[in-house]
Structure 1
Amino acid sequence: MQAFDQIQELWQKHEVEVKVSADEMLQQVKKEVGGIKFKSALNIIGMLVSLVAILSVWVFFHFESWTTHVGLGITAIAVLIYTLILYRDYKLIANNDITDHPQKFLNGLKTYQLNRYSLYNKLYWFYTIALSLGLIFYFIEVLSSFTIIQKSIAIGLTFLWILFCSTLVRKKVMKREKQRIDLLIEKFERINGQFFANE
């Protein structure tokens, strides 16, 4: 038994150095950047679809109350602003090539990371408040024909959905995206270090 403990102790002290070539790491980084670009593009497309849906409701349905128009306007403006911010961030990583301008790409990636942090913290609350305000104005006319139980269910489900997205979903997405971008920056800095060490 003592021999087993010694072998286990020796095994735990043993460090394995994994060597990954700069080319392999560069391919991994390119793949991860491609994934981030794709996800960002999907977010932008989703926001544009939401904007079109809101504008379609506004154009094709007849509303009598001015509050509904104000609510739809606030919601459309909030979605448009958020979409423009997402597009600005997408351009940071989409317009720079990793191999042509490594330092420019790395700076863009770090700026992207800071922008995403700001988006999920400060700007997210602007977006949530604007959407909530838009829904409040929209619900004044739309829910007027509902019974009290139907109004309570509609308002309660909307509130719970916003609360769920603002807490659990936002935190999980923030954490996962931060880890992914941190790892990407670390890999890219190591690649740059290997390139400069070889020169």
Structure 2
Amino acid sequence: MDNNNIDFKDLWNKQTINKPNIEDLLLRLKQFKKASLRSLWKTNILLAATTTFMIFIWYYCQPEFISTKIGIILGILAMAMYVGVYNGLLSTYKNIDSTQTNQEYLQQLIIIRKKEQYMQSRILSWYFILLLVGICLYMYEYASRMTVFYALITYGITLLWIAINWFYFRPKQIKKQQLKINSLIEKFEEVNNQLQS
């Protein structure tokens, strides 16, 4: 066989390259944006309803102990802090639109990932700490009217539920969210690398 007659350009053009489907990637990005905005609105509604309920309890039950009032304030403060920072992601999600380039999509996703990491580490930690202290202070007035046995059971169940949320549900949710965003970022990086080469 004569090696001088090999058409390398023709061979190169005939090879099959696994190219990511841009339309599919943009659909995944759109679904991510829609799910993230839905989650944001659900969180806002749920925490607003919880705050309203806590204010109603304060007004209706008229707690006698200052610890109960401080507990309610800490609970409301925790939720307000969390929602305030979480709503900062709203503008970032809304900045993703169909007119952007792949590089702009990638930059927006990286910004979202950084903000989510901040939420998942610092803000969520402070949220749980404030909520834990607030619930414990709030429960003190009512637990003081119980026998020691029932007060310990009440506190034990409450602290167990908070621990389950902290050690099981929180890491699971964080991992799920990180997988979604990291997968999108990897796909957009892959597309950008192919377009540059």
TM (norm. structure 2) is 0.81
Residues 139, 177 of structure 1: alpha-carbon distance in 2 compared, 3 angstrom cutoff? same
Question: Which residue is equivalent to 2:95?
Answer: 96
Instruction: After TM superposition, list the pairs within 5 Å mapping 1:33-182 onto structure 2.
Output: 33-93=33-93, 95-102=94-101, 103-182=103-182
For residues 72-124 of structure 1, what are the alpha-carbon distances to aligned partners after superposition, in whole Å with 9 as ceiling and x for unaligned?
0111111111111111123311x213322344443332122112112222222
Tell me how far 1:165 sits from its aligned partner. Answer: 0.9
Report if the CA contact (8 A) 1:143-1:151 is conserved: yes
Larger Rg over CA atoms: 2
Tell me how far 1:134 sits from its aligned partner. Answer: 1.0
In structure 1, distance between residues paired with 2:111 and 2:96: 15
For residues 153-174 of structure 1, what are the alpha-carbon distances to aligned partners after superposition, in whole Å with 9 as ceiling and x for unaligned?
1100111111111111111111
Tell me how far 1:61 sits from its aligned partner. Answer: 1.8
Secondary structure, in 3 states, of the residue corresponding to 1:146? coil
Tell me how far 1:179 sits from its aligned partner. Answer: 0.8
Amino acid at match of 2:109: L
Question: Which residue is equivalent to 1:4?
Answer: none
Secondary structure, in 3 states, of the residue corresponding to 1:181? helix
Report if the CA contact (8 A) 1:96-1:105 is conserved: no
Amino acid at match of 1:35: A
Tell me how far 1:152 sits from its aligned partner. Answer: 1.1
In structure 1, distance between residues paired with 2:193 and 2:30: 17
Q: Mark the runs of 5 or more structure 2 residues left unpaired by the alignment.
A: 1-15
In structure 2, distance between residues paired with 1:107 and 1:20: 19
Count of aligned pairs between the two proteins: 181
Tell me how far 1:19 sits from its aligned partner. Answer: 3.9
Amino acid at match of 2:136: I
Identity among equivalent pairs (%): 22
Tell me how far 1:17 sits from its aligned partner. Answer: 5.3
In structure 2, distance between residues paired with 1:39 and 1:28: 16
In structure 2, distance between residues paired with 1:88 and 1:67: 32
